Amino acid sequence: MQLTSAQKDILDGKEGEVKAKVMKTLVLFGDIFGATKLVPVTHKQGHLVTSFGIGLLKPLFRTMDELIAAGLCAEGKFTVDPRPVDYANVKCNLLEKLVFDKFMYSEQTRYEQQLSKVGLRDKNAFTCTCYLPETGNVPKKGDVLSWAESSAVVYANSVLGARCNRNSGMLDLFGSIVGYVPYFGLLTDEGRKATWKVYVRTTRKPEAQVLGSAIGMKVMEDVPYVYGLDRFIGTELNDDAVAYLKDFGAATASNGAVGLYHIDKLTPEAKELGESLIAPDAKVYVVDDAELERVYKSYPVMWKDPSAKAKLCFVGCPHLTYGQLCDWTEKIVSGLAEKGRKKVAVRTVLCAAPAVAAKFRATDGYKKLVATGARLTEICPLMYTNNPLTKGTPIATNSNKLRTYSVSRYYKDADILQIICGGEVKK
Select the span of 22-30, 136-144, 185-193, 316-324 touching ligand F3S (CB under 6 A).
316-324
380 contacts ligand F3S (rule: CB under 6 A): yes
For ligand F3S, which residue of 38, 382, 396, 416 counts as binding (CB under 6 A)? 382
Our CB check for ligand F3S shows the closer of 145 and 402 to be 402
In the sheet that holds 224-227, the strands lie side by side as 262-263, 224-227, 194-200, 278-287
By the rule CB under 6 A, 185 interacts with ligand F3S: no
Residue pair 101/56 in contact by the 8 Å Cβ criterion? no
The least CB distance from residue 131 to ligand F3S, in Å, is 12
With b meaning 16 or more CB within 10 Å and e meaning fewer, what string describes 314-335? bbbbbbbbbebbbbbbebbbeb
Smaller CB separation from ligand F3S, 202 or 348? 348
Q: Which of 360, 389, 388, 355 is nearest to 375 (CA)?
A: 360
Taking CB under 6 A as the binding criterion, the range among 86-94, 196-204, 357-365, 376-384 that sits at the site for ligand F3S is: 376-384
**Which residue, 380, 410, 400, 405, is CA-closest to 319?**
380
Stretch of 26-34, 106-114, 273-281, 317-325 contacting ligand F3S, by CB under 6 A: 317-325
Q: Which is nearer to ligand F3S, 180 or 314 (CB)?
A: 314
Nearest CB to ligand F3S, comparing residues 81 and 107? 81
Q: Which residues pair with 390 in a beta bridge?
A: none
Instruction: Please say whether the dihedral angle defined by the alpha carbons of residues 193, 144, 256 and 327, taken in this order, is positive or negative.
Output: negative
> Which one of residues 90, 219, 310, 317 is an interface residue with ligand F3S (CB under 6 A)?
317
Residue 81 in the binding site for ligand F3S (CB under 6 A)? yes
What would the x/- binding string for ligand F3S be over residues 124 to 153, using CB under 6 A? ----x----------------------x--
Residue 349 binds ligand F3S (CB under 6 A): no
Between CA 182 and CA 361 the distance in angstroms is 41
Q: Select the span of 52-60, 217-225, 232-240, 379-387 touching ligand F3S (CB under 6 A).
A: 379-387
Residues 67, 69, 75, 79, CA torsion sign: positive
**Other residues' Cβ atoms within 10 Å of the Cβ of residue 342:** 11
Counting contacts by CB under 6 A, is residue 378 touching ligand F3S?
no
Q: Contact with ligand F3S (CB under 6 A): which of 318, 335, 354, 365?
A: 318
Tell me the per-residue interface mask from 6 to 45 with ligand F3S, x by CB under 6 A, - otherwise: ----------------------------------------
Q: Which residues bind ligand F3S (CB under 6 A)?
A: 81-82, 128, 151, 250, 317-319, 351, 380-382, 401-402
